[in-house]
Amino acid sequence: MTTVAAPKAQNRSGWQLFWTSPAVRKLRRNPLAITGLIITLLFGLIALFAPLIAVPKDRSNCLRDLNITERNQIFSPVSGAFWQATLAPPKSCYLTERLSFQQQPTAPNQDALFGTVNGYNIFYGLIWGTRTALKLSFIIVGITLLTGVIIGAISGYYGGWIDNLIQRFIDVLFALPPLILTVVILTILRARLSGGGVYDPTIPMIVAFCIAGWAGYARLIRGEVLRTRQLEYVDAARSLGARDFRLIMKHVVPNSVAAVFTTAVLDLATVPLTIAGLSFLGLGFEPGYSEWGQLVDFARAWLKPEYWYVLVYPAAFIVLFSLAFNLFGDGLRDALDPKSR
């Protein structure tokens, strides 16, 4: 009797296992999610290469702070100015290029591809505003996610009076609408920090958003931890002598964060909208800073058919940015849901 040896299992790399996993396969079959991911990556490329897309004009403060005299020097990868402008540009580069002090909008032309409003170059403001939106979105969502996961995991794992205390505090935060709470905190910080000097709202906005936003993640991760901590592998690790910190960080949290990550992706779409709303209310960045809400604020005085470009282009950037993250977030949520596979 002849026996045939079973074929040896091929060694598959971590990337191959990830690419062929059920969740990724389902995500790849979702055209709307892929469309959202592509648009998101395009916004990422726009933000990364903003100095090369919207190049500061000659003799501008941005070029001066980059220690170069001509705008063409910024395209040379061998120069330090290229890497500084791409990775860590000075604050002067974020100030929207102002071509004139004329309040009336001017139509798109060679110097301003999307036209001007109040003398500001709309194209420059939108391109550099993309970097502002992405930077603040990832910082705010990252801090709130980390804070919410830590507090929610502690609340759900230990239970008892610790859980009761944390949940009652979260109930107090939920009693106030997030936008109202953000405005109140930002107004208080603005009054305390703007005394006579130059006021930079970046840190106050991050603090206000994080205080108002971590509770949602904590409530969500708590529910997942309450379910996960009762599973058999957690009891097995506990019986082998694993301490609470190891149980939480290695066994409980990694198996509880899938729903939180999908919520975080969706929140990446809402942060720029809220920041734009704050700038529209006068609680955001200084006038002239590259931020989408400022351009919408400038446009409201010129809502006429002949000045369509002052609102259409900023609105298109905001809508596409929000739509992209929502499409990708919805697809990611469906892909990670085992009930829908």
Query: pLDDT higher for 194 or 136?
Result: 136
* Residue 95 DSSP label: B
Instruction: Look at residues 138, 289, 329 and name the one whose alpha carbon lies nearest to residue 199.
Output: 289
> Residue 338: what pLDDT?
62
Instruction: Look at residues 201, 187, 190 and name the one whose alpha carbon lies nearest to residue 132.
Output: 201
What is the DSSP pairing of strand 116-117 with strand 120-121?
antiparallel
Q: Is the pLDDT of residue 30 over 90?
A: no
Residues 276-322 pLDDT 10s: 888 878 788 888 888 898 888 888 888 888 989 999 999 999 999 99
321: left (phi over 0), alpha (psi -120 to 50) or beta: alpha
Entry field: residues in the chain: 341
Classify residue 197 by burial, with Cβ atoms within 10 Å: 0-12, 13-18, 19+: exposed
Q: How confident is the model at residue 9 (pLDDT cuts 50, 70, 90)?
A: very low
Q: Which amino acid belongs to residue 249? A: M
Q: How confident is the model at residue 110 (pLDDT cuts 50, 70, 90)?
A: confident
Cβ–Cβ under 8 Å, residues 309 and 22: no
What's the mean pLDDT in 109-120? Answer: 89
Cβ–Cβ under 8 Å, residues 118 and 142: no
Q: Is the pLDDT of residue 170 over 80?
A: yes
What's the mean pLDDT in 129-145? Answer: 92
Q: Rounded to an integer, what distance in angstroms lies between the CA atom of residue 316 and that of residue 292? A: 10
Residue 201 has phi, psi (to 5 degrees) of -80, 5
Residues 37-68 pLDDT 10s: 999 999 999 999 999 998 888 778 888 888 88
Based on its alpha-carbon atoms, the radius of gyration of the chain, rounded to whole angstroms, reads: 25
> Residue 137: what pLDDT?
92
> Residue 3: what pLDDT?
58
Query: pLDDT higher for 74 or 15?
Result: 74
State pTM to two decimals.
0.87
What's the mean pLDDT in 129-151? Answer: 92
Q: What is the mean pLDDT of the chain?
A: 85
Tokens of 81: 């100015």
Query: pLDDT higher for 293 or 195?
Result: 293
What's the mean pLDDT in 77-84? Answer: 84
Angle (CA) 206 211 214, round 5°: 105
H/E element, 117: strand 116-117
Where do the domains of the chain lie, and which CATH numbers do they carry?
Answer: 125-340 (1.10.3720.10)
Instruction: Look at residues 59, 125, 47 and name the one whose alpha carbon lies nearest to residue 89.
Output: 47
> Residue 75: what pLDDT?
86
Q: Rounded to an integer, what distance in angstroms lies between the CA atom of residue 219 and that of residue 259? A: 12
